[in-house]
Amino acid sequence: MEQQHLLNLVEEHGSPLYVYDANVIEAQYKRMANAFSSVDNLRINYAVKANTNLAILKVLKSLGSGVDAVSIQEVQLCLKAGFTTEQIFYTPSGISFEEVEKAVDLGVQITLDNLSILERFGNTYPDIPVCLRINPHVMAGGNHKISVGHIDSKFGISIYQIKNIKEVIAKTGTIINGIHMHTGSDIYNIDAFVQATEILLDVVKEFEHIEFVDFGSGFKVPYKEGDNETNIERMGEQISERFNQFCVEYGKDLTLIFEPGKFLVSASGNLLTQVNVVKPTPNIVFVGVDSGLNHLIRPMMYDAYHHITNVTNSNDSEQKVYSVVGYICENDTFGHNRKMNKVSEGDILRIHNAGAYSFSMSSNYNSRYRTAEVMTYKGKDYLIRERETFEDLLKNQVEITL
C-alpha cells in the first residue's frame, strides 16, 4: 500500500487505525490452494480467531474458503458472514458440554479434544459423527506459548490414549469421521510438520469411517527482511504426495484440510499510529505513540517482531535509532532500538504484519478505545469497524446508587 494512501486513510478515519489490504489475503489464499493443487479433495478452513471482522470473513468466503471456529460466538459470526453450516468446523478446547450442545443445534462439524466430553457426546448424540483432535507430541512453533502439540500441552487427546478412545467408541457407538492436529504457530521447519503428519496418518489407520484429515496450520510468515518463512510450495509437494499415497493405502479418497489464520491475513494488516512525543533519555530515544498493548499485544505477549516504518517521513535519508513505546501504564514496547527515518512529533508510524491476532486480541485496558478498521480491496476503501466511543465503555456497566 502506498504511503500517501495510508496517510489519507488516517486523515479521514483518525489514529490509531487498522488498515487491511484484502488483495494480499486473496493472493495468499490462491498461493496455498496452488501449493496443494495435486490433492483432489482440498479444503482450506480459515482460522477465524486470527481476525474476526465480518468483512474479512466475507472476502474469504468469496474465495471459496471454509472456516475453523474455536467458540460458539465465532460460529455465530461465520453464520452472520454468510457461511453455511457445512462450511463451518467447530474446534474448541476445554469448553462446557452446554456449548457443544449449541454447536449440535446449529449443525456444524464438531471436533472434540478430550475423553470425558467424547463419552458424554457419544451417549447423548450417538448418531452424529465427530472429529477428534489428537496431540501428536511434537514440539513445534516459534514461541513456547504458541507451541501446542507437545506432550504437556492442554490441546488434544494424546496419541498414547488411542486405546481409551476406542473403548469409548465401543461403549457409545460414536462414529469418528475426522482426525485433527495442530502443532503450533510460526513453523518453518518442514521436517517437523512431516514428522507430525506421519504420526497423524498412523492414527487415521485406527479408525474405519474417516472422511477428512485436518493438518491444522501454523505456517511461518516473514516479519522482516530476510526472516524465515514456511516454504509452502515445497511443503505442498511433500505433503500432497504423501497424502495421495495414504489415500490409496486407506482405500478411500479423503479430504485434506488446513486451517491457516496468520498465513492468510497477517501480511495484509497495518496498525497506523501517530507519534505523541519524541523523548530523548541518556541511553534511549523513546517514540511515544497513541497506541499500546491494548491495540497490539503480540510484541509484549510473544516477544513478536513487527517491522515499523515512518509513513510521514518515508524518503528522508537520515536514519536514527528509536524505541517505539505505547501510551499504556505498562512497559508496552512495540520495538526496541529500531532504525528508521527521522521521527518527529505528529508523524504517522506503520506497524507491519498486524493483520492476524492483533485487533482480535485488543482490549479496553486503561479504558482506552479500540480502533477503527478499514479494508481496501480491488481499488476501493471500506470502513469495516467504527472507532469506539465513551458510550461503548459504559454500554454494559450497571450504575448503582450508594
Nearest Cα neighbor of 352 from 296, 280, 279, 288 is 296
- Per-residue model confidence as pLDDT tens digits over 312-328: 998 877 899 999 999 99
Residue 147: predicted pLDDT: 42
CB 355 within 8 A of CB 268: yes
| Residue that has been written with the C-alpha cell 495442530 in this structure | 182
Gap between the Cα atoms of 372 and 288, Å rounded: 20
233 is in an annotated binding site: no
Radius of gyration of the chain (CA): 23
Instruction: Kindly report each contact of residues 123-128 with a partner whose C-beta sits within 8 Å and lies 24 or more positions away, as own/partner.
Output: 123/172, 126/172, 126/173, 126/174, 128/104
Task: Note the maximum CA span of the chain.
Answer: 72
Helix, strand or coil, per DSSP, at residue 161 = helix
- Catalytic residue, from 78, 131, 247, 329: name it: 329
Domain 3-18+266-387, CATH among 2.40.70.10, 2.40.160.10, 3.90.79.10, 2.40.37.10:
2.40.37.10
Is-cis flag, bond preceding 222, omega within 30? no
Residue 76 above 90 pLDDT? yes
| Average pLDDT rounded to a whole number, residues 197-215 | 94
Predicted local distance difference test score (pLDDT) of residue 184: 58
Render pLDDT for 2-30 as a digit per residue (tens, 0 to 9).
999 999 999 999 999 999 999 999 999 99
Residue 254 DSSP symbol:
P
| Residue 188 in marked binding region | no
Does 148 have pLDDT greater than 50?
A: no
Question: What pLDDT was estimated at residue 151?
Answer: 57
Q: Is 302 annotated as a binding residue?
A: yes
Distance (Å, whole) CA 377 – CA 60: 12
Q: Which alpha helices (H) appear in 107-207, and where do they start and end? A: 115-124, 162-172, 190-204
Of residues 33, 29, 31, the one with CA closest to residue 50 = 29
Rounded distance between C-alpha atoms, residue 363 and residue 373, angstroms: 15
Which neighbouring-strand residues pair with 339?
321
Residue 158 has pLDDT above 60, yes or no: yes
353 CB-near residues (< 8 Å, 6+ apart): 221, 223, 266, 267, 269, 306, 307
pLDDT attached to residue 245: 96
Q: What is the DSSP letter of 370?
A: P
Per-chain mean pLDDT for the chain: 93
How far apart CA 178 and CA 158 sit, in angstroms, is 16
Provide the 10 A C-beta neighbour count for residue 313.
17
CA distance 66 to 214: 13
Residue 256: pLDDT band with limits 50, 70, 90: very high
Compute the distance between CA of residue 319 and CA of residue 328 in angstroms, rounded to an integer: 27
Q: Where are the alpha helices (DSSP H) in 64-158?
A: 72-80, 97-106, 115-124
Pick the more confident residue, 186 or 52: 52
Q: Cell numbers of 78, please?
A: 461465520
pLDDT given at position 136 = 83
CB atoms within 10 A of CB 200: 22
pLDDT band, very low/low/confident/very high, at 332 (cuts 50, 70, 90) = very high
User: Is 247 in the active site?
Assistant: no
| Residue 154 scores a pLDDT above 90 | no
* Burial status of residue 175 (CB atoms within 10 A of its CB: 0-12, 13-18, 19 or more): middle
User: Distance (Å, rounded) from C-alpha 350 to C-alpha 24?
Assistant: 17
Instruction: Tell me how many degrees the CA angle 347-348-354 measures, rounded to the nearest 5.
Output: 155
Are 48 and 88 within 8 A, CB to CB? Answer: no
- CATH class, domain 22-264, is alpha beta
Cβ pair 320, 339 in contact under 8 A: yes
Among candidates 369, 286, 296, 274, which has minimal Cα distance to 325?
286
Q: Where are the domains of the chain?
A: 3-18+266-387, 22-264
pLDDT band (50, 70, 90) for residue 156: confident
HSE-up of 130 (CA within 13 Å, CB side)?
A: 33
